[in-house]
Structure 1
């Protein structure tokens, strides 16, 4: 009898251990993995990940928690996220069902530094890139949806803390938090159900900035994808990449 109990206990232990290993290994496993080969036997590894649950909230999230790997990673859930990571340089593009497109090019060596950013809230709406100044702060012009015009912005060296300007943050519950800062002081804050759309009139200066931004991001992508043995068209303004 004791031998039988030991055998049952051993079988249960093996089964439990197997389940733990299977769950740990496959939880973050990509649905597909591939390699893009270049002309000199160089390659970038690509990974496609399915939707996943947030470990903290147990809710389905658009971009699952996955180990960081060099190469191309695409995640899809009610939208699309593309991340091209090569030689400590990162190109991030996110698409959402409401038409929002966000893109950034950054480096994480030695620390995360956003080099250029671009956000489309409608096909022709844009936040223009911010330039790093000699005092390590960032200054430039962005399109403000509430003001319906370009406004000047000034950021601290972390590229997140506003000295002057506005910010729009997509919050849980699909509403937007609007904040306006002046001289590092929050002077206005309220919630928006939807982002105000830009009117149909697009100044020529905006068109030129938008054209330049698209070209700049495509050049960045082409440079990062040099080892690839195929053309790489980001189509930042067309989410057909993720259909």
Structure 2
């Protein structure tokens, strides 16, 4: 009889997981091609994060994991599992323990189309996501980190060296798309309390526009995967051909 005890404990742990899990999608109201996570409350002992796999079957995302054999439940833990970025439509996510016929957690969710303001002429917007770490392969030490939101807003962090070889960083913001591949905005320098300060007052940071930046992601045959980055800081202008790193 004792030989079956571990399996009974494992089954009880799985039942406990199924009963206590409260699946959510994050964000709760995703829009087209916005990255979506599945948020679950799991047993920290039996849920094996390293074994999780995700597969799309039709419009259902099937997640599987191989439970760990635990002799006592672990404390509850909240985990996020990346599902992906999707076109507008209705989807469902289901979590299965390896070999199980029915899901231990499931949720239906909807991905909405982006609502655009009706203006004439219509505002341009990109049809690709340019988020990532950009730079020039043979120029180590500097780079440009870009984040493009679901509403097509673009924010960049530029890290470079000054004339004294000291590191400097700037942000790219307050910009707009001139067409589907060309963005223009401000280069902003920030200052504030040191990171070692005991307190950081909310209004202590200062922001100073010091130039402009243009990113042109337009491509021609034979020159794919690169962008032209032109920026000026305090009157000095630089133009670089950059590419995105695949980390």
Q: TM-score, normalised by structure 2?
A: 0.30
Q: TM-score, normalised by structure 1?
A: 0.31
Higher-Rg member (1/2) = 2
| Structure with the bigger percentage of strand | 2
